[in-house]
Structure 1
């Protein structure tokens, strides 16, 4: 009887640790087929997402790796490869050239907010702002955040609208919200 009780305790312990592990995994979504670990920084996690290869290449070309690996906290609205591909043909290749580093840096920093802004906090700011909230980025851009049917949208200074497709991806130095469009500064 004692052997059965010990076996049951071990089985219960294993089940509990699997459940706790699954719950921890469920709290931080998968992005681009990769697990996003809250113990890793923004660059480390983004580098593993198959949907953010262009973003990572752009961050490297702009010289922003050490910044986004830094202490933060930062909130990054991270455009997918598909979002970059939707830009006019040749835009990404042109931006990645060394002579366009300043322009690329401006675009990328228009996706970064100082602080750790989870979607629930952003939603509250939108509601407190009467349905719209001006998000000030580290690049000096102002992005208008709105909520529509439970989804957050961001309108850039050029009038383009991005939708947050995956929210609240926790990082050791902030949070990533995946977006489906590249946010552009006014021309």
Structure 2
């Protein structure tokens, strides 16, 4: 099932595709919170999540004129965010391999997010234990009730693979939430 944007949103997307800078700013304002939360959840407590979210919107601005149809805007935008997040995770992994540990590195305190709901804290912690391909599907589903086809377009795999990964992700998430670490 394809999600049709609201009429005013559809018009804003069309104006942005035509190069209207005010429409592009409007789209950024409308989606910055959702994209930011998605990127932050994908990267964990990475202090560079804002840079990755910003890079997502830069790529959106550069590519929106080539977007084939406005009704796929949202899945297209989240695919950009997903790819930017995965690229960052790959670069971060390489940097860790080639960055030496210094004694002062242990003194840097990780940022603490104050979240009152214990269940939410547990979900966020458990999400980080999922493999990236499973975690991204759970996070995308948390943002929107995407169809398997939409998720397939965003992740670049088949709808069958999405169903399988989502089933495994939900099963693993349920097991981890119930304290089954196996």
Same fold (TM over 0.5): no
- TM-score bucket of the superposed structures, by smaller chain: under 0.3
How does the TM-score come out when normalised to structure 1? Answer: 0.27
More helix by percentage: 2
More strand by percentage: 1
Greater Cα radius of gyration, structure 1 or 2: 1
